[in-house]
A and B are shown apart, each in its own frame.
Chain A
Amino acid sequence: MISLLSKLFDFKNKMGVKMNILNKKLLISLTALMFTVIGPANAEKLRVGMECTYAPFNFKTADGVLSGYDVDVSKGVAEILGLELEYVCQKWDGMIPALLANKFDLIIASMSITDKRKEKIDFSGPYRDSVGQMVARKDLGRDLFDSAGNPDAAAFKGIKVGLERATTYSDWFEQTLPSAKVVLYDSNEALYLDLLNGRTDVIMTNPMKAHLKFLSKDGNEGFELAGPVIDDVAYFGVGVGIGLRQGQEELRDNLTGALKTLIKNGSLKEYALNTSHFRSIMTNGLIKY
């Protein structure tokens, strides 16, 4: 920032205007008020984008402390690579646009690695499995899946399915069960609310999240996980990874290397156990490199 300002002032000096220290100070403080200009000197500081509302992966506690599995992973990676991190809270819909518009440098927000997203951004290797499972009313009275564990299109006739917009779950539904009547929501909370209200009959989300945030709470005894855990790699990808802008191969490989180290030294397992009820994530035999 200073170099830009001094350039501007050099230009001014050449024009024969006497440089005024007060003016310079004023200009710097004005610029600092409106924009943040970051030059190469701050290259070691990386900004991390996450939702901050996605318990148990990234959320703020009542004390205002950012915590969760994603936050722990980011801190672990930063320690290994010697990075300084700054967190930016960003809504899910704008996550990739914000990364591309340089609002932050990394996405560590439980974002599944998919081919569709890879067209826009780059990913490190995975640091968590990515799976989906359905939650349905217990009195729904029909089997949504056949005996082989495949979804039965006929069974989805006449019921409404709640999904989060722009997620792997909605992609999977669009391709696998195009005839299903889908209602799209902007947040995970809205899914549970409308399932409870009866506006939808079935939802699909991460089973661990469904357990923590919905099934384990009082008053929701009438609902259950339905059908098998779906981990179709074509839709859910190889897992959840760190997103970054394309063309940063060195950073990407460093991140993947750091994640491998965290897996080898057992840190990822430790992070997962930091959050209660989190054990199920590990039993799936986390991540195949």
Chain B
Amino acid sequence: MEAITGWWDDYFFATIVVLKIFMASLLLMVIFGLIGAAAKLSNSIIAKKIANAYTIIFRGTPEILVVLLIYFGSAIALTALFQVFDPSIKYVDVPPFWAGTFAIALIVGSYATETFRGAFLGVEPGSIEAARALGLSNIQTFIYIRIPEMWRIALPSFGNHMLSLVKDTALISIIGLNELLFVAEQATATTGKPFTMFIVVGLIYLGISTVITLFVMGLEAYGRSHLRAVK
């Protein structure tokens, strides 16, 4: 393990990068998932078609391909777009951080779309009827009835999506972001100790995902707390 001396700081900063990607993509993933679910449950045929295309494309293509296409494709497309306004612009670059974050949020967001859709459909019709009978408005029903019932249904799958996000951050090394896998490769190139370096990466990822799993378990217990008396 002495080979690793001197690389701890690199691993630390790479872990920070991974956590930053995770936070940013988690936020985007929830947004994409909610928009997708809303579109699929809406009455608009066009919105339904677009949302279906989204989930079919992003659930049906390899994740690494999406990351590469967004990273290289966005640079070419944005450069062309900006040059329409100002021909003297040489290039527009989307940094690997944002391209990668956006890509994995889109991918996992497509799975979250289905999770959220299913969860909204799983809300007890009886609860909605009761809300109507009590004279709650549509917005009140959404906030006080649908959301509290829906997140309890969505939580187990949502926990899986969070784990997918964490592991997908490793894909971003292919577009040159200085994250954990990339640090391990750099360290291997200098020290020639691949196993040590990659095991450290594995342990760090395991640590992050364990924290998430415990967090989700806690949330699930909280979500069931009103049923404790029934048991």
* Residues of A near any B CB (own CB < 8 A): 1, 3-4, 7-8, 34-40, 42-43, 52-55, 59-64, 88-91, 93-94, 97-98, 101-103, 187-189, 193, 213-214, 217
B116 interface residue (CB < 8 Å to A): no
Q: At the interface, yes or no: B185 with Cβ under 8 Å from chain A? A: yes
- A59: min CB distance to chain B, Å: 5
* In the bound complex, CA of A275 to CA of B185 (Å): 20
Residues of B near any A CB (own CB < 8 A): 5-7, 9-10, 68, 72, 75-76, 78-79, 82, 85-86, 88-95, 98, 173-176, 178, 182, 185-192, 194
B contact residues around A7 at 8 Å (CB): 85-86
Q: Given the complex of chains A and B, what is the CA–CA distance between A94 and B68 in angstroms?
A: 9
Q: How far is the CB of B116 from chain A (nearest CB, A)?
A: 26
CB proximity of B77 to chain A, nearest CB, Å:
10
Q: Cα distance A55–B187 when bound, in Å? A: 10
Is B194's CB under 8 angstroms from A193's CB?
yes
Query: Which has the most chain B C-beta neighbours within 10 Å: A38, A39, A94, A101?
Result: A101
Q: For chains A and B in complex, what number of residue pairs have CB atoms within 8 angstroms?
A: 107
Q: Contacts A60-B186, A102-B75, A187-B185 known; A39 to B90 CB distance under 8 Å?
A: yes
Known contacts A36-B93, A38-B89, A53-B189; A91/B76 CB under 8 A? no
Nearest CB on A from B95, distance (A):
7
In Å, the complex CA distance between A63 and B7 comes to: 8
> Which B residues are in CB contact (< 8 Å) with A94?
68, 72, 174-176
Which residues in B have their C-beta under 8 angstroms from that of A214? 192
Residues of B contacting A64 with CB < 8 Å?
A: 9-10
Question: How far in angstroms is the closest Cβ of chain B from A161?
Answer: 21
Tell me whether A102 and B91 are in contact (CB under 8 A). yes
A-B contact pairs, 26 of them (CB 8 A): A3-B88, A4-B85, A4-B89, A7-B86, A35-B78, A35-B93, A35-B95, A40-B88, A40-B90, A43-B90, A53-B182, A53-B185, A53-B188, A53-B189, A60-B190, A62-B187, A90-B175, A90-B176, A91-B175, A93-B174, A94-B175, A94-B176, A102-B76, A102-B79, A102-B93, A214-B192
B contact residues around A193 at 8 Å (CB): 194
